[in-house]
Structure formats: C-alpha cells, structure tokens
C-alpha cells in the first residue's frame, strides 16, 4: 500500500509495481529511506506526548476557561506555543499537579493546628 502511494505521489508508472516487491524496490533508490514506512509508524521514544489546552481541560475534568484563567494568572503548568496553540508536556502537567497537591497538603496541615 505504501509503495503504491509512493508510486502515485512521485508519478512512477503504475505497471512498475506489478513486479514482485523486491524487484520493484530497486528503482526506488532515491526513496529507499521511505520503504517500510507505514501510517502506524510512531514518533521516536525521544518525543514526549503533549497536550493541547482542550486536552488538558478534558483530562482534568474542568472547563477550558479554567485552564485559560490558570495560565493567565501564572498558576497553570508551564507550556509552549506551536503556532497559535498552547501545548503542555504531560510530564510538566503531572509535576504541576504534584505541586498543587503538596501546596494543598501544606495548607490543610496549617489549618488543623
């Protein structure tokens, strides 16, 4: 499937791919790095998953406006922009949640005294 897509994309003749797969790949030397790629190929393990503002709100179970407000007041997780959208690393969101839990724990201990 991927090889046929490459053929159509790069204007190779369709009959070229009627040959057995190994013989047909010989003519694809400039595209050899693409052979074996599928749409299921995932990102390298070096890349950490990121959340958009709406993804973050959905995971936390709060309205998206809450995430905007927290961010605006400097109380939200650290994020970065890709184009116009704010993105958040999942590790940063988890660290932010831990800080919130620790602060809440500290406040509740002080209130019990």
In this prediction the pTM is 0.55
Closest CA to 55 of 47, 44, 67: 67
pLDDT in tens, 36-59: 656 555 555 668 899 999 999 999
pLDDT value of position 85: 92
Identify the residue with better confidence: 65 or 39.
65
3-state secondary structure 57-76: HHHHCCCHHHHHHHHHCCCC
- How far apart, in whole angstroms, are the C-alpha atoms of residue 61 and residue 99? 18
């Amino acid at each position: 499937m991927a090889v046929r897509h490459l053929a159509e994309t790069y204007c190779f003749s369709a009959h070229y791919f009627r040959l057995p797969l190994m013989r047909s790949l010989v003519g694809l030397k400039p595209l050899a790095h693409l052979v074996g790629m599928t749409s299921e190929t995932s990102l390298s393990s070096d890349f950490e998953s990121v959340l958009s503002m709406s993804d973050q709100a959905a995971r936390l179970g709060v309205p998206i406006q809450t995430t905007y407000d927290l961010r605006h007041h400097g109380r939200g997780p650290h994020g970065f922009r890709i184009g116009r959208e704010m993105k958040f690393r999942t590790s940063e969101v988890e660290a932010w949640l831990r800080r919130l839990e620790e602060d809440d724990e500290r406040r509740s201990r002080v209130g019990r005294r």
